[in-house]
Amino acid sequence: MAVEVLMPALSPTMEEGTLAKWLVKPGDVVKSGQILCEIETDKATMEFEAVDEGIIGRLLVAEGTAGVKVNTPIAVIVEEGESTDSARAPAKSAAPAAAAVAQVAVVVAQKAPVAMATGARVFASPLARRIAAEKGLDLTKVQGSGPHGRIVRADVEAAKPVAAVQTTSAAAASAPVKAGMPSGMSAETVMKIYADRDYVEVPLDGMRRVIAARLTEAKQTIPHFYLRRSVRLDALLGFREQMNKGLQPRGIKLSVNDFIIKACAFALQAVPDCNAVWAGDRILKLKPSDVAVAVAIEGGLFTPVLRDADKKSLSALSAEMKDLAGRAKTKKLAPHEYQGGSFAISNLGMMGVENFDAVINPPHGSILAVGAGIKQPVVLADGTLGVANVMSMTLSVDHRVIDGALGAQFLKVVVECLENPIVMLA
């Protein structure tokens, strides 16, 4: 029986995508796990895998087609021995079976082995296998709720008692937003204002629509307040230079941003009430320091998350950040690599910006805006005037999650770590 393959939702916020490239053609025999096509979302280019065996009867969406809505039929697969002619007019009743034909594949550089009993054949989505591997689950003991008993993400997340909290957190961290234009003047009204001027109209792509919607949501719904501190960087710069000399044989070069990440991870542990997110009708306090860092890319930005940053060395954080930033710029990050965290860092100091206020990325409780280090006259400890490298920082805080005194305590720890960086290595 011919069944339709539907455009998948590759992330919780995805409403539409671009079918970038077909990797199969009509008449091809496909097997479970074989990649069918590449799909571009607002954040990444991802691969879409077949689940069951069959024959490609018809491709319904051409390569390069943008704006394909989620759950739109994109191809038809027929059973072996079934004429591909039957795929010309697939029955609508076949649509619900599409989930049994293809599943989302979040492809990462290396696939970790899944813990399971030897010889047991387990039907599970690639994402479910990855999560199971990370959690050390035996998939043979997990009951699948997907088509034909297939194990899906929800099944492996529910395999432990803490899954309910994790699922709530994940849902809150990436709740779908309406990716349309924020309210305000209509396009027609604005275009009339500039009707007598030359301009180029730039259509919004998926990423820019999501950014516009989420930031509008953030400023309209989150009660922001701001705390500002200055940091003297001279001790850190000297310490960094000394460390980089020692790390040079290993090809490692630490940046000031690496120290800022470590300092923030340290502060989240020192002031645990700031390690929190807003979850609608409750606050979730996280135990690990999962720090998101804004990375600018063409047309938008990513916020890859450095998980368990408090437990990692500066060199490990530096290497991981370089990897995440590099893959962010080519849109090769998987959703789990840029969703989550309780706190974010936005550093525009490297671009010469002296200070700014960042918008909180919901459901995070706060975000730190980092400016440039600039030589300034300062009063030294002995009361004389001197010159120091001074960096401005502004902490944007969600007042529903963190109160002023608590935010000030967190920022104080960050400053102490940066002005006396050796404490982060203790």
- Known catalytic residues? 399
Query: Sign of the CA dihedral 320, 338, 288, 360?
Result: positive
To the nearest 10°, report the CA torsion of 161, 163, 169, 172.
-120
Q: What are 163's two structure tokens?
A: 């899954």
Q: Which of 394, 367, 398, 134 is closest to 284 using CA atoms?
A: 398
What is the distance between the terminal CA atoms of the chain, rounded to a whole angstrom? 64
Provide the b/e sequence for 138-161 (b: ≥16 CB within 10 Å).
Answer: ebeebebebbeebbbbebbbebee
DSSP state of 176: -
> b or e along 223-253 (b: 16 or more beta carbons within 10 Å of the residue's beta carbon)?
ebeebebebbbbbbeebbeebeeeeeeeebe
Q: What is the rounded distance in angstroms from the CA atom of residue 303 to the CA atom of residue 247?
A: 27
Single out the residue of 93, 166, 113 nearest to residue 336, CA to CA: 166
| Whether the Cβ atoms of residue 411 and residue 253 lie closer than 8 Å to each other | no
Please give the helix or strand (H or E) that residue 197 lies within, else none. Answer: none
The strand pair at 45-50 and 102-105 is best described as antiparallel
- Centroid of chain to Cα 138: 27
What's the full length of the chain, in residues? 426
Query: Is the alpha carbon torsion for 10, 307, 249, 242 positive or negative?
Result: positive
The Cα 226–Cα 404 span in angstroms is 9
The closest of 301, 306, 369 to 341, measured between CA atoms, is 306
